[in-house]
Amino acid sequence: MNESTEKRKSGRPPENLKNEIRIELPSYSINEGIARSAVSVFISQLDPTFEELCDIKCAVSEAVTNSIVHGYRDGFGIVYITVKILDERTVRIEVRDKGCGIEDVKAAMQPLFTTDSEGERSGMGFTVMESFTDRLSVVSRPGKGTKVTMIKTLGERNAK
């Protein structure tokens, strides 16, 4: 058995191969919970603390909800989620849609900013994502969609 076959059988990827998942979900609000759960299960391989896992789940929930509620506010679409483990303690989560896009990203990222004329939304989605991750990037084009990228580096774990 060669080294590559041995590592595959051990269940751990080779050191130079970073693990990744891609998920596509219809823009139904019920799928927010599925996205959150799938991402947290995938990230569990990094052995996050309970608090870190809760932070990630909350950030993913906000990003997916934004895509569903705001990105596809005038119809139906697909929410694309990519989660990639960058190293032993760092994960990158991308949530993307092909919805209506954001006219002014800088304004949209301000706390309490909302386009919700009904007053049902607090305008805190990007603020929540930013507070629970280490880096947040938002790229959007009106009529083309939005991509939210979140980076989270987990703290060091004590040896067991």
Return the bridge partners of 152, or none. Answer: 91
16 is catalytic: no
Catalytic residue among 62, 92, 96, 130: 62
Catalytic residue among 32, 66, 92, 96: 66
What is the Rg, in whole angstroms, of the alpha carbon atoms belonging to the chain?
17
Q: How many CA atoms within 13 Å lie on the side-chain side of 34?
A: 12
Known catalytic residues are 62, 66, 121
